[in-house]
Structures are given as structure tokens and as C-alpha cells.
Amino acid sequence: MEFYGSDIVEVLLSTKSMDRMRAKLLRYAVIPACAVLLVAPQFVQAGCYDKRSPGMDWSGCKKTNKMLDDSDFSGSRFDEANLADSQLDESNFTGASLVKTDLTRASAKGSRFDGADLSKAVGYRARFQQVILRNSSLTKSEFIRADFNNAEIVDVDWSKSELGRVDFSAATLKNVSFEFSNVSRVQFAGARLDNVDFKGAYTYRTHFEGVDLSRVVNLGPIQLQLGCGDEKTRLPEGLSAPQEWPCTE
């Protein structure tokens, strides 16, 4: 095949035009993609930098060792957030969602959790003295060694949870379910227990010394034999104290 000079020039021009067109298409495709990559991480983390306010969303955010006392967090979301070692005293968590929230060693003294969802939350050694927990869910949560001294806990589902060595001293517990929960070595000294459900609860060395158990439900003889009591422990109707309480500590 023979090419004349004019043909060669036309082919070269056509080739350059196609290259320019491809370059433009590639540029228009790459720039938006890069913009998405730059913006997306900021969008995902945007809520973590929001100021404290009702109805905000700190889900998945890391807020450890923060001073967050006296805050209004009503209606807010903290699902899977990390609040370990933070100060949350005297705060309002009414209607808040704290599903799978890490509250390890956090302090929420005197705070309100009315209608809050703390299911699957973790609160190892958390300090929740004098909190108000009403109409709340704490199912499958872990609050081992947490302190709920003088707390008001009413209409709460605390079933299938790990509560070993929790301190409920002088607390008021009414309509609370501990069904199938581990309440071993829990301290109930001076607590008021009204319609508290112990169905299937593990009560190894649970401290019932001096506690009025006459209004609890589904507490069986084997659970009493595992627990700690004394001559001042009042039992539900139909139950008798074991011949010897196993606790010596």
C-alpha cells in the first residue's frame, strides 16, 4: 500500500486528536474519583467533631479521657463509640443509644439514662453511682466490677449480662430482670429489691447479707445455696435458708 504525503499528515493529525480525546476523558473520570476519595473520609468522621448537643451522633467515635460532665446528650447516638476513662458525671442520656459502647472505667455519677439503650455495652469498673436508669435496656452488656451504689434502677432489662462483682449497695431496683445473667459476688448490701427477676441467674457468692429478698421472683434454693446470706436475710415465701451459708469472706 502506498501513502502520499497528505495521507500521512491526516493520519498523524487523527492519531493526535484521538490521544487528546482519550486524555480528556481520562482526566474527567479521574478528577471526580479523587474528589470522592478526599471527601469520603471527612464525611464518615464528620460527627466525631460535632460539639456536644442533644440528638448528635458520635457513633463509632473515639472519645477517651474526655471531660464531658454536665452535658445534655438526650436522644444522641454513641453506638460502638469508645468513651473509656471519660468523665460523664451529671449528664443527661435520656433516650440515647449506647449500643456496644465502651464505657470502661468511665464515670457517669448522677447521670440520667431514662429510656436509654445500653445493650451490649461494656462498662468494666465504670462508676455509675447515683445514676437513674429507667425503662432502659442493658441486655447482653458487661459491667464487671462497676459501681452502681445508691442508683435508681427501674423497669430495666439486664438479662444475659456479665455483672460479676458489681456494687448495688443502697441501690433501688424495681422491675429489673437479671434473667440468665452472671451476678456472682455482686454486692446488694442495703439495696431495695422489688420484683427483681433472678430466673437462671448465676449467684455464686452473691452478697445477700441483711437483704430483703421477700419481693424478688424466680430465686431458687440452689441459687441461695450458692450465695451469701445471714440471719437477717429475708427470703421469698416458700424458701428456706441453707443449713450453712457458704461464704466466709
For the residues of 205-229, what is the DSSP string, one character each? T-B-TT-B-TT-BS--HHHHHHSB-
Average pLDDT over residues 32-38: 43
**E-assigned strands of 61-215?**
132-134, 152-157, 172-177, 192-194
CA distance 168 to 190: 8
Percent of the chain with pLDDT over 90: 78
Q: What does the CA dihedral 51, 57, 60, 65 come to, rounded to 10 degrees?
A: 30
3-17, 50-64, 210-224: the lowest-pLDDT one: 3-17
Q: How many CB atoms lie within 10 A of CB 7?
A: 11
Farthest CA pair distance, the chain? 117
Split at pLDDT 50, 70, 90, the class of 150 is: very high
CA distance 219 to 152: 22
Q: What share of residues in the chain are helix, strand, coil (percent, to 5)?
A: 20, 20, 60
Domain of residue 11: give its range. 1-44
Is the pLDDT at 72 greater than 60, yes or no? Answer: yes
SS3 127: strand
Number of domains in the chain: 1
Residue 178, CB-side half-sphere exposure with 13 Å CA sphere = 28
Average per-residue pLDDT in the chain? 87
Whether 14 is covered by a domain: the verdict is yes
Average pLDDT over residues 96-109: 98
Q: What is the reported pLDDT for 45?
A: 46
7-21, 61-75, 218-232: the lowest-pLDDT one: 7-21
Which amino acid is present at 207? Answer: H
Chain position carrying cell 473520609 = 41
Whether 55 is covered by a domain: the verdict is no
Whether 19 is covered by a domain: the verdict is yes
Whether 195 is covered by a domain: the verdict is no
Model confidence, pTM: 0.81
